[in-house]
Amino acid sequence: MKKLGLGQLFVALIISIAGLGSPMSASAQTSMLIPDYPSNYVVQEGDTLWNIASQFLRDPERWPDIWRPDEYLDNPDLIYPGDTLKLSILGGTPRVFVQRGDREVARVSPQMREEPLQSAIPAIPLESIENSFTRNRIIDQEEYEAAPYIVANVGDNLAIGTGDEIFARGTFLVGSTSFEIYRAGRTYYGDGYKKKRAFGLISTTEEEVLGVEVEYLGFASIIENSGSDLRKLLINNGTSEIKVGDRLLIREESSIDATIFPTEPAAEMSGQVVAFLGEETLASQLDTVVIDLGSDDDLAVGDILSIQQEGTQMVDEEERTRMSFRERMGTIFNQNSLVIPGNDIGTLLVYKTFEKLSYAVILASTQPVELYNAVVSP
């Protein structure tokens, strides 16, 4: 049996898309289709489920309403490159069926065949992995310092938590009423590790600050305007103890849909795992890690990256035999060596990006992930 590579890593997380949607009129269901929808579509290598659904639907998230898997096929809920998807209107309702290969009976004899490696088009239900996501953020130090901060608790309680009222001071944007509460944590610097690039090793500078990680503590909403720079807020939910001095940041809207359609990065990626959540020294499946790639590198939410073991360094003895004595001595004193890439040991899904860093969850791993393991395009 052939190894399916990246697709096989998602086996435990592939979403079943065979269910029916909520009842609606035939005309309403037909209007789900784009004006010039095709009668059939051949799945290509590199397609995503979102891309395929967009061939037929105005709203690709409605794909489960029209998809009908063939129970007589192996892995009927999966779509493979080469499959032909055919759209039919049954009783006024659009339905998409899959045809996989020629089903006519043919007499064949045993023979060796070569076929390109193909992977299933994966889709991941958010609910299966969202408990592994962190609500922390990574921001600039200047942004943290400029954020409004808690100056007092209303009442005599020393600990601030859900249901308490507080006063916060700072600059509040007009129209902003809901805030998340954070406390400064680790600062990520550019020293202490190196980014692996296609041509050698490039060190970052010691002075470079990649970002400040802020710990999520809860969220609050404004209930009273108490002055030009003073607001009274209600703690709607507190997940940890809240203190005077903690900062308020405008609540973020989630950029992840209920179903995640993993994609390969738009550009070649090469970075490293630079931190784990908490004080762990190793990470495994469904753990969150921090990587030193972000939006500045064109990394996006939903991108998939491979995790690699540290490569080995060796001297190319064959090359040295063709060198002069002086060149050979130079390879010794300059410690020139050939870098052999490490093996793939896992897969990451990026779910939150910042300028220079990102949070990613380990979807699968064959061995524990260590700090400074390389992360590269799959």
pLDDT number for residue 262: 83
pLDDT at 1 over 90: no
Provide the mean pLDDT of the chain.
78
Decide: 372 and 342 in contact? Cβ < 8 Å.
no
Residue 25 maps to a domain: yes
Pairing mode, strands 344-353 and 358-365: antiparallel
pLDDT at 363 over 50: yes
Q: Are residues 235 and 271 in the same domain?
A: no
Residue 167 maps to a domain: yes
Mean pLDDT calculated for residue range 208-215: 90
Mean pLDDT calculated for residue range 254-281: 83
283 token code pair: 């990470």
How many domains does one find in the chain? 3
Helix, coil or strand: residue 197: coil
pLDDT number for residue 124: 73
Mean pLDDT calculated for residue range 70-88: 77
**Last-in-domain residue among 250, 271, 299:** 250
Residue 337 maps to a domain: yes
Q: Are residues 213 and 290 in the same domain?
A: no
pLDDT at 343 over 70: yes
Distance CA(308)–CA(376), nearest Å, equals 8
Share of the chain above pLDDT 70, in %: 71
Decide: 152 and 229 in contact? Cβ < 8 Å.
no
Distance CA(270)–CA(298), nearest Å, equals 12
pLDDT number for residue 314: 60
**Last-in-domain residue among 250, 285, 302:** 250
Of the pLDDT bands very low, low, confident and very high (cuts 50, 70, 90), residue 164 is very high
pLDDT number for residue 165: 94
pLDDT at 191 over 70: no
pLDDT number for residue 257: 66
pLDDT number for residue 321: 72
Q: Are residues 158 and 80 in the same domain?
A: no
Domain of residue 265, CATH code: 2.40.10.410
Question: At residue 186, what is the residue type?
Answer: R
Distance CA(77)–CA(83), nearest Å, equals 12
pTM of the entire predicted model: 0.61
Q: Are residues 223 and 177 in the same domain?
A: yes
Of the pLDDT bands very low, low, confident and very high (cuts 50, 70, 90), residue 2 is very low
Q: Are residues 197 and 277 in the same domain?
A: no
Q: Are residues 276 and 367 in the same domain?
A: yes
Decide: 375 and 272 in contact? Cβ < 8 Å.
yes
Q: Are residues 152 and 118 in the same domain?
A: no
Q: Are residues 271 and 369 in the same domain?
A: yes
Q: Are residues 241 and 173 in the same domain?
A: yes
Q: Are residues 324 and 358 in the same domain?
A: yes
Q: Are residues 139 and 202 in the same domain?
A: yes
**Last-in-domain residue among 123, 155, 183:** 123
Residue 166 half-sphere exposure toward CB, CA atoms < 13 A? 32
Q: Are residues 33 and 118 in the same domain?
A: yes
What is the domain range of residue 149? 131-250
Residue 255 maps to a domain: no
Burial of 93 per CB tally in 10 Å (0-12, 13-18, 19+):
middle
